[in-house]
Amino acid sequence: MSALLLKDFYMILRYCRAFFLLIAVFFAISLVQEETVFFLIYPIILVSMIPITLLSYDERDKWDKYSSALPYTRAQLVSSKYLIGLFGGLLVLLISCLIQAVKMTKMGIFDMSYYMEICEMLFDISLMAPLLVLPFVFKFGVEKGRIVYYIVILGISIGAAALTSIELNVKSLMPDFSINYHMFTAAIIVFYIISWRLSIVFYRKRQL
């Protein structure tokens, strides 16, 4: 497994440099646009594309077929992509949360409970796209799965834009908002694990 992760890491360094530049740009814009977390969402969405990008290069270079001759199971091949996405998402999440803390402190509005809710929302978004898209990619291939990816990302982007544009005190309407949102996060984690397992099942049955 470590060799698969190392191979994907080298591929990221070679093929995903543009992602790093775009992420840095969005982080810079986020520091300027102090009143919104909207620009912190895009780096997380970009990172969620990395496993799909790696899979597209794997298919182009026939790695998916070549790997059948190597001592790796289909479960390990799937797991390496989920782990790469998870590690990358958590790294960008930590940076996003740090930037948000700096912004809130500079504006003099730092509130720990509100800050934790923002970080939790960003965490959920970091898992949402992969858990919805990767099973389709491993079942049907990158090209068909990419269509699902664009639909999911469009939905997340519209939802994020709506949340950041509506001036609404959600807590006043839902006193138990924090409890409900923690339950939503727990559900996202469970579905992420289910998605991981489904991808393994689909990829084992897929003819390469």
Distances (CA, A) of 179 to 11, 182, 183: 40, 5, 6
d(CA 157, CA 45): 9
What local confidence, expressed as pLDDT, does residue 169 receive?
Answer: 46
d(CA 44, CA 116): 17
Per-residue pLDDT of the chain (208 residues; tens, 9 = 90+): 788 888 888 889 888 888 888 888 988 888 877 666 778 888 888 888 888 889 888 888 888 778 777 888 889 999 999 999 899 989 999 999 998 888 888 878 788 887 888 888 889 888 888 888 899 889 888 877 777 777 776 776 666 556 555 444 444 444 454 556 778 889 999 999 999 999 999 998 887 6
What local confidence, expressed as pLDDT, does residue 179 receive?
Answer: 55
pLDDT digits (tens, 9 = 90+) for 128-178: 888 888 998 898 888 777 777 777 767 766 665 565 554 444 444 444 545
d(CA 79, CA 85): 10
